[in-house]
Structure 1
Amino acid sequence: MISTQSHLFQTLRTLCFSVSKHSKPPLNAFKNTILLMKIIGMWKYKTESPFYKTYKYIMTIYVFLTCILCLVYTYKKYNDPQAIFFISYLPSIFTVPIKLVMFPIYSEKIKQLLDILDPQKAVIRTENQKKILENSIKLSNKIFNLFGGSFVAAAVGITATPLSERNQVLRFYEWFPMDYSKDVVYYGIFGGTLCFDFHLIAVNAAGDFFFYISAIQIEGRLDLIIDTFLNLEEISAKNENSNEEQKYKRMHEIVIECVQQYNKIIECSQLLIFCFKEILINQLICSCLSLMMTMYQLNAAEPFSLNFFRVIFYGIAMGSEIFLFCYFGNRLIVKCEILYYSIFKSTWYKAPLKIQKDLLIFMQQVQKPVTINVGNIFPLNYDTFKGIMQKSWSFFVALKNTQDLRSKN
């Protein structure tokens, strides 16, 4: 008989998180990100409790309301020196509702992606490959911890601004029918919006983490295939009692398995592109605008002032965010190039003609690398990051020249 305490705990767990009895435990690489998504209302269950649904609706409404009020605030205060720094935050705020809405919409595709990347479904042939898979999971957890700490630091810095400088008014102050400058009212309003502000930052971080970790896990699967081809003869001849015919028969089976694994990797990349197509387009545009506004703010800020260092920190954060998207996308392209040469380095010249033909066909397939495309227009790589930085600089120069012409007139 279940105790009252255990029954109460199970009831609360079901009420808050709507966890199915038959649901699988989260992947080790994704467990922290998935937990964060569940907490902030980005995750979708087949059956959700009324409490969790209400919580998600409230947070979604708040996010969209925040974007609308921020637009109104920016329109009314674009010439106010005290509010100008907030305007540079505006593009990054608009990445949040896209991420918050798209993840539940594409929940089935996301779960399909997670199912393919399940470590239990990875084909591991040697102890070294087992370490490769473990290292990819460890790297995913390090990325979460490292950049999770960075997001927390950024959140503290952003939300502490109204406390450190009382002249930096709250962004919704015009809608309060009371004197917000009084301590009780001011800190009450600030405390109420603080939780929601952290929610905005957490949504942005969770979406980024999911992309980074997915790319790392896809890269890990490519590493398994690379290691297989580099040690193809040794793996094929693992059974010492096997003759030459059995060895090459096993080699042919391994080559076919590698091709199937590579097709699964392509499927994973396509699922990732499908789930992130709106997010990536919005992210690149908003990051470009944020970098442009940050350059403009840095040009106008007094050197070595508090605002000067705050602008630099924000610019580095925005640049790092978009760089990581391009960095992990570029790593997949590089891994495909390594895979191509690993096939060439295998002992293909000793194998029967049938295996050589299969390897040749596979090498032709690998010549078209796994790429994460943005809107089926351009891939995420270093050239894309370089282009974003150049466009941001061009927009900044155009904006500055326009402002100088208006000042002269």
Structure 2
Amino acid sequence: MAAIVTDNVTLFLNLPRYILVYLGIWLRPDNYATLYRLYTAIILLSQYSFVFLEFIYIALAWGDMDAVTEASFLLFTQASVCFKVTRFLINKKKFVDLMSLMEEEVFQAQNDRHVRCLLNQSVLLRRLCSFFLGSALTTCTLWGLMPIVDRTDGERIFPFLIWMPVNPQKSPEYEYGYFYQMAAIYISAFLFIGVDNAALSMIMFGCAQLEIIMDKIEQIKRVPMSGKLKKDERERLIQENQVSLVECLKHHQAVIRFIEKAEDTYHANIFFQLTGSVAIICIIGLRITAAAPGSVQFIGMLSYMVTMLSQLFLYCWCGNELTIRSEILREVMYLCPWHEQSNSFRKILWMAMERMKRPIIFKAGHYIPLSRPTFVAILRSSYSYFAVLNQTQNKEK
């Protein structure tokens, strides 16, 4: 059956490509390469300088528990952005190889049902990531409003607690500092969604391919044992079914190789995000309890909590979907009319099902499986640390 040529890269990577191109992180264009490098350096400088200034502030405020905790959650977030973007740039060759794999013939749709599988997964991912992006931008906007709404005694303050080499009480120094902080944090939000979406797209592409394999298995034809079929027609059907099964297994092996390469490319990013999320969620919880209910700071922290939880949930949910589909595929293979096929068909099917007893699991750091239990475990750990720190803080007061 002839393949229907679909642009899988555009289908799954259009959103991160659009974001990262405009932030200078995507593949370098052939034209204006020098200017693009300079633009990339400016973007990276905005993020690394923010982390550096955050370190200075924490060092100067060391001993003040409230100031340190208020500054720490942003330090973890910005450090995560810098780490992810740097890893993305270092592993750009691996990323190019993954995009090349996505366009291989084995991953091309062969009919309208396969196209729908690809479309459904790409649209679902786009909607989830759009919610994450909207939540992140809402949080950034609320942070930008804090100096305006929560201004006390007419004293001007910056949106974030970082050391600044300018005086907020003077103009235009305050305006420059305010613009730098807000520009850096908005860039950070877009970098987050761009790099994360690129990794999640690879996982969801694997899910779509497993669904296509299931569809192929379901199309294996029955070979009735009655005398209605002539011998040559019966042998032809048996041969076609065996060819289809072998094709499905080759497709499955290609999916496994693709996911392994994707894990090798992104495992460090996701591991850093999962481990850092424990500290970030814990600190955000402390800031929420300290803020006045209904204030802009309270709403901003609550929005930030939703953003971090949605980011964490996206990774765990996508990884869980991949594992579930790899397990369902084994059941679908068992439900095919194998009892009406040849002995060689049954032997191949048996070996494939034995191999599929080990499902496809995407792991962060080659160690932590992306799954719903992992998501719950991280929330439990975050709450445990939060309870301890909150109790310690209350005793000090």
Q: Pick from 165, 169, 190: which aligns with 2:158?
A: 169
In structure 2, the residue matched to 1:266 is 256
The answer to whether the 8 Å contact 1:88/1:294 transfers is yes
SS of 1:190's partner is helix
- 1:104-123 equivalent positions in 2, closer than 5 A: 104-118=89-103, 121-123=106-108
1:212 aligns with 2:195: no
**What letter matches 2:88 in structure 1?**
F
- 1:221-300 equivalent positions in 2, closer than 5 A: 221-233=209-221, 243-300=233-290
In structure 2, the residue matched to 1:52 is 36
Alpha carbons of structure 1 residues 144 and 306: separation in structure 2 relative to 1, 3 Å: closer
Provide the rounded CA distance (Å) in 1 between the counterparts of 2:340 and 2:160: 71
1:304 aligns with 2:294: yes
The answer to whether the 8 Å contact 2:121/2:205 transfers is yes
Task: Give the superposition deviation at 1:268.
Answer: 1.5
**What letter matches 1:223 in structure 2?**
E
Task: Give the superposition deviation at 1:311.
Answer: 2.1
1:154 aligns with 2:144: no
Task: Give the superposition deviation at 1:405.
Answer: 4.0
Task: Give the superposition deviation at 1:123.
Answer: 4.5
The answer to whether the 8 Å contact 1:330/1:382 transfers is yes
Task: Give the superposition deviation at 1:392.
Answer: 0.6
Task: Give the superposition deviation at 1:270.
Answer: 1.0
Alpha carbons of structure 1 residues 404 and 196: separation in structure 2 relative to 1, 3 Å: closer
Q: Pick from 181, 187, 190: which aligns with 1:202?
A: 190
Question: Cα deviations across residues 128-153 of structure 1 (Å, max 9, x unaligned)?
Answer: 22322232233333334333333322
SS of 2:385's partner is helix
Task: Give the superposition deviation at 1:25.
Answer: 9.9
- 1:324-363 equivalent positions in 2, closer than 5 A: 324-363=314-353
The answer to whether the 8 Å contact 1:229/1:343 transfers is yes
Q: % of aligned pairs identical?
A: 18
The answer to whether the 8 Å contact 2:150/2:296 transfers is no
The answer to whether the 8 Å contact 2:143/2:300 transfers is no
The answer to whether the 8 Å contact 1:116/1:268 transfers is yes
Provide the rounded CA distance (Å) in 2 between the counterparts of 1:189 and 1:50: 28
**What letter matches 2:287 in structure 1?**
Q
Alpha carbons of structure 1 residues 138 and 87: separation in structure 2 relative to 1, 3 Å: same
Q: Pick from 5, 19, 35: which aligns with 2:18?
A: 35
Number of aligned pairs?
379
Q: Runs of 5+ in structure 1 lacking a partner?
A: 1-23
Question: Cα deviations across residues 139-175 of structure 1 (Å, max 9, x unaligned)?
Answer: 3333343333333222222333334334543547754
Provide the rounded CA distance (Å) in 1 between the counterparts of 2:180 and 2:118: 43
Provide the rounded CA distance (Å) in 2 between the counterparts of 1:244 and 1:139: 42
Alpha carbons of structure 1 residues 392 and 83: separation in structure 2 relative to 1, 3 Å: closer
SS of 2:348's partner is helix
Provide the rounded CA distance (Å) in 1 between the counterparts of 2:174 and 2:371: 45
The answer to whether the 8 Å contact 1:29/1:213 transfers is yes
**What letter matches 1:255 in structure 2?**
L
In structure 1, the residue matched to 2:226 is none
Provide the rounded CA distance (Å) in 1 between the counterparts of 2:99 and 2:222: 31
In structure 1, the residue matched to 2:4 is none
1:76 aligns with 2:60: yes
Provide the rounded CA distance (Å) in 2 between the counterparts of 1:124 and 1:400: 54
Provide the rounded CA distance (Å) in 1 between the counterparts of 2:161 and 2:325: 48
**What letter matches 1:321 in structure 2?**
Q
In structure 2, the residue matched to 1:369 is 359
Question: Cα deviations across residues 348-392 of structure 1 (Å, max 9, x unaligned)?
Answer: 110101001101111111111111112122211011111111111
- State TM-score, norm by structure 2: 0.87
Q: Runs of 5+ in structure 2 lacking a partner?
A: 1-6, 224-228
Provide the rounded CA distance (Å) in 2 between the counterparts of 1:87 and 1:227: 49
In structure 2, the residue matched to 1:100 is 85
Provide the rounded CA distance (Å) in 2 between the counterparts of 1:260 and 1:46: 35
**What letter matches 2:246 in structure 1?**
I
In structure 2, the residue matched to 1:9 is none
Question: Cα deviations across residues 60-83 of structure 1 (Å, max 9, x unaligned)?
Answer: 233222112112212323627577
Question: Cα deviations across residues 21-73 of structure 1 (Å, max 9, x unaligned)?
Answer: xxx99522212211211211222338571101111122223322211211221
Q: Comparing 315-324 with 292-301, which one deviates more in the overlay? A: 292-301
Alpha carbons of structure 1 residues 172 and 297: separation in structure 2 relative to 1, 3 Å: closer
Provide the rounded CA distance (Å) in 2 between the counterparts of 1:247 and 1:118: 30
Task: Give the superposition deviation at 1:253.
Answer: 1.2
SS of 2:11's partner is coil
**What letter matches 1:40 in structure 2?**
L
Alpha carbons of structure 1 residues 191 and 68: separation in structure 2 relative to 1, 3 Å: closer
SS of 1:28's partner is helix
The answer to whether the 8 Å contact 2:121/2:208 transfers is yes
